[in-house]
């Protein structure tokens, strides 16, 4: 298992566009990838509905967790997307 904390920096939080980009990228990995919000909620990173249900706002810290053969690459790739604001900055 590999984990990393990231902060949502997008002005509008995790809205439809970044959620779609994230689920598309997560789907390219074989590992199971989960996003854990600080409030104890979690969602499958490959599920756009799951991500949207978390209601993640700007400034929210989430933990990316992956388990599988490509877990480190998956988490680091997705963390980079968060750090770059999903291309919206």
Candidates 9, 13, 15, 32; catalytic one:
15
Report yes or no on whether pTM surpasses 0.85. Answer: yes
Q: Judge whether 89 lies within some domain.
A: no
- Taking only the tens place, the pLDDT of each residue in 31-65 is 999 999 977 899 999 999 999 999 999 999 999 99
Cα–Cα distance measured from residue 82 to residue 88, given in angstroms and rounded to the nearest whole number: 10
Q: What is the count of structural domains for the chain?
A: 1
- C-alpha separations of 13 from 9, 21, 55 in Å: 7, 13, 8
Q: Domain holding 78: CATH number?
A: 3.30.1340.10
Domain that includes residue 41, residue range = 2-84
15 is catalytic: yes
């Amino acid at each position: 298992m590999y984990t990393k904390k990231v902060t949502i920096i997008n002005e509008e939080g995790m809205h439809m566009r970044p959620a779609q980009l994230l689920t598309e990228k997560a789907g390219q990995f074989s590992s199971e990838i989960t996003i854990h919000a600080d409030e104890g909620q979690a969602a499958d990173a490959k599920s756009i509905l799951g991500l949207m249900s978390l209601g993640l706002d700007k400034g929210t810290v989430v933990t990316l967790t992956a388990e599988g053969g490509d877990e480190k690459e998956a988490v680091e790739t997705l963390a980079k997307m968060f750090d770059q604001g999903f291309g919206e900055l």
